[in-house]
Amino acid sequence: MKRGNGFFIAGLALTGLLAALILLGFFWTPYDPNAMAAGPKFDGPSLAHWMGTDNFGRDIFSRVLKGAGTTASIALATLAIGAVCGCLAGALTGYFGGPVDELLMRLNDALTAFPSILLALVVISILEPGKKRNVILALGLVFIPSFARVSRTAFASLREVNYIKSARLMGASSPRILAVHMLPNTAPVLLPALTIGFNNAVLAEASMSFLGIGVTPPDASLGYMLSEAQGMLFAAPWYAAGTGLVIVWMVFGVGLIGEGLRRRDREVL
């Protein structure tokens, strides 16, 4: 029944390889990512420097490994905040309904009307810009509404299903119904939403750091490096190419996993 499909396997392979590289990057990189003159300045890709070097002679491959780690960990933390709070809000409003549901969902509509980057900008300027923790907090808050909406729909659609009525009749508590009886059956909707959310978080972090309101040195994220690379696009095009490639790799791999999950559930249904 749960036949593996090409999308899922390809996505898993791409993401797994990248995850392994990122994990490796936490412990070991070919050169110190911040060491100046690890090689000659503006050196093109070679066996010694796979992605070349930048204007300070730093090894770009080492920097990309570290930067991908920063970006991925910010995206995961953002996702955790957004998904946990969003699903909780969505589950409660979807299951119980009533005036609170109406109120929260209209608030949700209002929040969704703003572009998410703009909202994150507002939040981060209220907090303190430039700190990794605040970037996560701002993005996490911005991601809550979309998860709330998706999970609300999923939970509300199960509310009147017979097996949920049976669960109520047998005396199961509301938290148990939500967590044990409903949550596993929302997975076909929520898991693809998680993969989309992860990708949006990667891109949002990259955009924010690119605009200079995200991560600041000595932390380097892919977005920050992309904005550095922009300044030397002609002197060191491999910098932008290498960094961009890893962003695309990350988003593409997780996107394939999401597509695979959607197709698998369509087959089961």
Partner 1 sequence: MSEELVLSLRHVDSGYHDGVGPFGRRERQEVLHDVTFDVRHGEILGLVGESGTGKSTLAKTILGMVKPDRGTVTHYTKRPQMIFQDPYSSLNPFYSVEWTLEEPLRVYGKYEKAERKRRVREMLERVELPGECLGAKPSELSGGQRQRVSIAAALIRRPKFLIADEPVSALDVTIQAQILDLLRSLRRELDLSYLFISHDLNVVYQLCDRVLVMKRGRIVEQGTVEEIFNHPKEAYTKQLLAAAE
Binding site for partner 1 (CB under 8 A): 98-99, 101-103, 161-163, 165-173, 176, 181, 184-185
To partner 1, the closest distance from the beta carbon of 148 in angstroms equals: 18
Least distance (Å) from partner 1 to the CB of residue 101?
A: 8
Express the helix, strand and coil content of the chain in percent, nearest 5 each: 75, 0, 25
We find the least distance from the C-beta atom of residue 185 to partner 1, in angstroms, to be 5
50 or 96: whose CB is closer to partner 1?
Answer: 96
Cβ proximity to partner 1: between 32 and 102 the closer is: 102
32 vs 109 by CB, closer to partner 1? 109
Whole-angstrom distance, CA of residue 161 vs CA of residue 27: 50
- Closer by beta carbon to partner 1, 99 or else 218: 99
**Are 71 and 19 spatial neighbours (Cβ–Cβ below 8 Å)?**
no
CA 103, 178, 163 angle in degrees (round to 5)?
A: 115
What does the alpha-carbon distance between residue 166 and residue 96 come to, in Å, rounded to a whole number? 17
- Residue (17 or 103) nearer to partner 1, CB: 103
Environment class of 188 (CB within 10 Å of its CB; exposed 0-12, middle 13-18, buried 19+): middle
Q: How far is the CB of 99 from partner 1 (least distance, A)?
A: 4
Beta bridge partners of 53: 59
Q: Give me the least distance between CB of 155 and partner 1, in Å please.
A: 14
